[in-house]
Amino acid sequence: MKFRLFKNLIMKLVINNTKMFTGYFYMVQFEINKGCLNIL
């Protein structure tokens, strides 16, 4: 029982971190694209 609770907590952390990382990655991509457009 305790192990299952622990597993759920880890899964929640992993999912939240993945969402945060994905958002950050898209932001970086957007900045790079904007920079490339400015160069052109």
Give per-residue pLDDT as tens, 1-40: 688 889 999 999 999 999 989 999 999 999 888 887 776 5
Q: What is the pLDDT of residue 33?
A: 86
Q: At 31, list the tokens.
A: 């900045």
The whole-chain average pLDDT of the chain stands at: 86
Distance CA 20, CA 9 (A): 17
Q: What is the pLDDT of residue 34?
A: 85
Q: What is the pLDDT of residue 2?
A: 80
Q: What is the pLDDT of residue 1?
A: 64
